[in-house]
Each structure stands twice: as structure tokens, then as C-alpha cells.
Structure 1
Amino acid sequence: MIIFGTKGYLYQLAILTLVCGQCGNPSAHTLRKRVTKFTLFFVPLFPASTKFATQCTFCGAERKVTGEEADQLLAQATPGGPGQQAYGQPQQPYRP
């Protein structure tokens, strides 16, 4: 019997100050990366999909971004800058 499946991981990459497209307020936005990995016997082997999104901390609106846009936003996030922090640790597993 072979046990296989997927497991999701949610990484917070950065906190950026942007103008929200939904509410129009300049507020903090979190840049997140969602990775779904294929597992075999509960051991994650390789990523099956990777998605990026920003979420407004004021209204909670989430916007999907491409990998290129995420790279540009990460380049804007300078660690130690005013109101901006860069992260790379997973928050909690994402279960679809």
C-alpha cells in the first residue's frame, strides 16, 4: 500500500506599504507564497504548484500576483527599512 498526497505551505515573504486597489488606503500588505508539495508516505518530495498573493491588512482584500511581480515587490522590500520587513519562515501549513 502506497500513501501519497499533497501538503500546502504558506510563507510570508515581506510586509510592504502599498495603496490597496480595493479600499484605496495606503496600508501594509503582506506578500505571501503558497507552495503545494507532493508527498509520499507523508514526506514532502517536490513542489507541485507555487502561487503568490498580496493581502491588505486594512480591508483584507487579497490579490494574486505573478512570480515576476513578486520578485519586483521583494526587490522593493529592504530589510530594516521604514515599515518594511522581510521574512522567509513558514507561518503555518495551508490545507486546501
Structure 2
Amino acid sequence: MLILFGFKTAVKELSRRQAVCPNCGQHASQRIDQRATKFTLFFIPLFTTSRKYSRTCAYCGVTSELSKGEKDALV
């Protein structure tokens, strides 16, 4: 019997907003993303194993991780 299982990571853009970048200090567009890793069985996603949030500055391109509380404040 053959069982196929694995993990799939999906990136979803939650929002974009104008804010000051913590890296370069410029007032620029910030993209808030959610990265969800899901357990799959026979290529069907069953449940989410982890969620991470990140912010990417459109001016300098630096990506930094956010906590759930920081994400809620920005979105």
C-alpha cells in the first residue's frame, strides 16, 4: 500500500498600507503576507501546521517577520 503525504506552503497577501519601514526609515508601501504550511495526504490539504506573518517594504525590499499581534495592528 502506498501512502502519499507531505507539506505545502501557501503565501497569501493580506493587505498593503503606507507605513514607516523599520529598516530604511522611509514612508513607503508595506505588504503584509501570511505564510501557511499545511499537511497534505494524497495531495489534499488536511490541516494547517503553522502560520507566519511577514512585512515587506516596497522601497528597500527588506522582509521582516511579524507576530500575530503586530499583524492585527497593521491590518
TM more than 0.5: yes
Q: Which runs of 5+ in 1 are unaligned?
A: 75-96
After superposing on structure 2, the runs of 4+ consecutive aligned residues of structure 1 that deviate more than 4 Å are none
State the alpha-carbon separation in 2 of the partners of residues 72 and 24 from structure 1: 19
State the alpha-carbon separation in 1 of the partners of residues 41 and 52 from structure 2: 22
- Higher relative contact order (Cα pairs below 8 Å, separated by 6+ residues): 1
Give the superposed CA RMSD.
0.6
**1:63 deviation in Å?**
1.0
Q: How does 1:5-84 map to 2 (within 5 A)?
A: 5-74=6-75
State the alpha-carbon separation in 1 of the partners of residues 4 and 69 from structure 2: 35
**1:13 deviation in Å?**
0.4
Q: Aligned letter for 1:30?
A: R
Aligned length: 74
Q: TM-score, normalised by structure 2?
A: 0.95
- Larger proportion of strand: 2
State the alpha-carbon separation in 2 of the partners of residues 31 and 6 from structure 1: 23
**What corresponds to 1:77 in structure 2?**
none
Q: Which runs of 5+ in 2 are unaligned?
A: none
